[in-house]
């Protein structure tokens, strides 16, 4: 909230931390050869997609795209993943799968849209009039659309890559974050500018250890650690599940974050939010086919409880 344009320094810090950790513990200081050969350009293609999605999503905020609209747009990731899976991988899904994805997407869109209305009503920012502003907004929408489709395509590329070379989630995590680091040189002025702003933020004493530092650096450190835990889990999922299932899990994580932020910041939780939550819950149960799993269980329990006939 204090520095809305700090996305680049946050992304750079996340990439740098994961790259250093992977260089030490996964690449063994560069002595370990990658299981997925780099010479086939597989990692470079995946890294180009990963870096592009991260940068474009951050840059869209500079094109008259408000954060609530940004969140709403990214809630369409499930639909994008399913659509590209049908087009590229020629996949076909059951009616229950289509319905579940539609319900989850509708639920997340409903909750995000209602929260966005609240943010918009509380905002004191003045919007400029004129065709130029509208054109920049259209460019921002185009950027978000591109990032959404590129992210879905990257998930499918990862799925195909792991089928060919095997499951190497830690290695993929390292190279996806190490290889793009030179690209951040293009964003160096923006990163340095926000580093200066972070240094000027109020001082904060870290509990337990008693270290005093600017509070924005503490927030950044906590963001990097939690993002590392999250992204590592996502990369493990990409080796075990289809791209659509991974997208569903990540989308549900975003939904939980949204609900948590609503409750933590004491924003209104209306009937629309409850409706959206119900859509997500029912859609998730349909996707995981939990009802089919409970059927044999109920039959088994019924058989066990049935009294013996004499």
- The pLDDT tens digits of the residues spanning 13-23 come to 999 999 999 99
Give residue 300's pLDDT: 46
CB contact at 8 A, 91 and 37: no
Which pLDDT score, from 0 to 100, does residue 124 have? 45
Sign of CA dihedral 260, 176, 22, 4: negative
How does residue 297 score in pLDDT terms, banded at 50, 70 and 90?
very low
How do residues 167-191 score in pLDDT, each as one tens digit? 888 988 998 899 889 989 988 999 9
Helix (H) or strand (E) holding 173, with range, is helix 169-178
Q: What does the pLDDT average to over 272-279?
A: 82
How sure is the predictor about 293, in pLDDT bands with cuts at 50, 70 and 90?
low
Q: CA–CA separation, 130 vs 99, rounded Å?
A: 41
> Using CA atoms, how far apart are residues 270 and 111, in angstroms rounded to an integer?
9
The model's pLDDT over 5-56, given as tens digits with 9 standing for 90+, comes to 788 899 999 999 999 999 999 888 888 888 887 766 777 888 889 888 988 8
Q: Using a pLDDT cut of 90, give the percent of the chain over it.
A: 19
pLDDT more than 70, % of the chain:
82
Q: Read off the pLDDT of residues 237-274 as tens digits, 9 standing for 90 and up.
A: 888 888 888 878 887 777 787 777 777 767 677 788 78
What pTM was computed for the model?
A: 0.72
Q: What's the pLDDT band for 114 if we cut at 50, 70, 90? A: confident
DSSP 8-state secondary structure symbol assigned to residue 27:
S
What is the per-residue burial (b if ≥16 Cβ within 10 Å, else e) of 217-255? ebbbeeebeebbeebbebbbbbbeebbbbbbbebbbeeb
> What b-and-e string marks burial along 14-45, b requiring 16 or more CB atoms within 10 Å of the CB?
bbebbbebbeeebbeeeeeebebeeeeebbee
The answer to whether the CB of 169 falls within 8 A of the CB of 239 is yes
């Amino acid at each position: 909230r204090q520095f809305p344009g700090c996305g680049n320094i946050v992304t750079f810090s996340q990439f740098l931390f994961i790259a250093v950790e992977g260089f030490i513990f996964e690449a063994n200081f560069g002595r370990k050869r990658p299981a997925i050969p780099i010479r086939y350009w597989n990692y470079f293609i995946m890294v180009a997609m990963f870096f592009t999605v991260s940068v474009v999503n951050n840059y869209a905020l500079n094109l008259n795209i408000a954060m609530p609209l940004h969140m709403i747009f990214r809630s369409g990731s499930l639909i994008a993943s399913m659509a590209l899976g049908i087009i590229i991988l020629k996949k076909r899904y059951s009616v229950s799968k289509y319905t579940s994805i539609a319900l989850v997407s509708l639920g997340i869109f409903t909750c995000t849209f209602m929260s966005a209305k609240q943010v918009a009503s509380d905002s004191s920012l003045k919007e400029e009039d004129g065709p130029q502003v509208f054109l920049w907004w259209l460019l921002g929408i185009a950027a978000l659309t591109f990032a959404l489709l590129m992210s879905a395509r990257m998930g499918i590329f990862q799925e195909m890559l792991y089928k060919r070379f095997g499951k190497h989630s830690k290695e993929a995590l390292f190279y996806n974050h190490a290889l793009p680091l030179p690209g951040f040189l293009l964003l160096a002025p923006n990163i340095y500018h926000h580093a200066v702003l972070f240094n000027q933020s109020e001082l904060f004493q870290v509990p337990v250890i008693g270290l005093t530092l600017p509070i924005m650096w503490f927030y950044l450190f906590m963001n990097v650690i939690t993002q590392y835990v999250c992204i590592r889990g996502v990369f493990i999922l990409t080796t075990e599940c289809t791209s659509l299932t991974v997208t569903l899990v990540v989308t549900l994580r975003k939904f939980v974050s949204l609900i948590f932020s609503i409750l933590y910041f004491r924003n209104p939780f209306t009937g629309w939010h409850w409706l959206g939550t119900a859509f997500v819950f029912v859609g998730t149960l349909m996707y995981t086919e939990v009802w089919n799993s409970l059927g044999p269980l109920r039959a088994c329990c019924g058989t066990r409880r049935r009294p013996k006939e004499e």
